[in-house]
Amino acid sequence: MFKKKLLLNYLAFYCLFTGLLGVNNLLAQENGAAQYLENDFWDSVRFGGSLGLSFGNKQFTGIIAPSAVYDFNEIVSAGVGLNAAYAKQGQSKATSLGGSVLALIRPLRFIQLSAEFQELNIHRKYELIGLDLEERYWVPALWAGIGYNTGNVVAGVRYDLLYDENKSFYSNAFMPFVSVYF
């Protein structure tokens, strides 16, 4: 049952991602979109990403997520990213390393919608009933988000559609974010 649900989620993401890329063809008739088609490839690439730190009662989490996106036009962008995270709570430790593909849509100048598929390798060390345990595994994450765009900075919230409380690196399916691109 889980594999069927996972397959349906992958299929939904693929349809969303290819649909977003197809929007560029629909907008190619507009004068603003023609300017992007004439530019050099690297003129339309932006680099940036996100940093995150969280402190609490005997808890620490740090995340770095650099990425690069290609602006097809003023509305649609797509790209790739890397993700590295470390978390410690008491004696338990976890690291996460992975990559992602992402799509961004700005239907209004100040609103950004996002979809991001991540594949993360999780490494956990923890103590259970006096035993030191360790596990490694891969886990997917499919984020859908909305943010407020202020030029180079976007702040918002995203939700992991594939969230599994036993396997996901993050403690919650909802996550606030701040991203910067130049």
129: left (phi over 0), alpha (psi -120 to 50) or beta: left
Give the pLDDT of residue 38: 58
Q: Measured between alpha carbons, how far is 103 from 145 in angstroms, rounded to an integer?
A: 10
Domain that residue 149 falls in: 2-181
Radius of gyration over alpha carbons of the chain, in Å? Answer: 18
Query: Would you place residue 59 in the very low, low, confident or very high pLDDT band (cuts 50, 70, 90)?
Result: confident
Query: Would you place residue 5 in the very low, low, confident or very high pLDDT band (cuts 50, 70, 90)?
Result: low
* CATH classification at residue 108: 2.40.160.20
Q: What total of structural domains would you count in the chain?
A: 1
Query: Would you place residue 26 in the very low, low, confident or very high pLDDT band (cuts 50, 70, 90)?
Result: very low
Give the pLDDT of residue 20: 43
Over 70: is that where the pLDDT of 31 sits? no
Q: Residues 60-112: pLDDT tens digits?
A: 889 999 999 999 999 999 999 999 999 998 888 999 999 999 999 999 999 99
Residue for token pair 């992991």: 160
Token pair of 95 as six digits = 């690291």
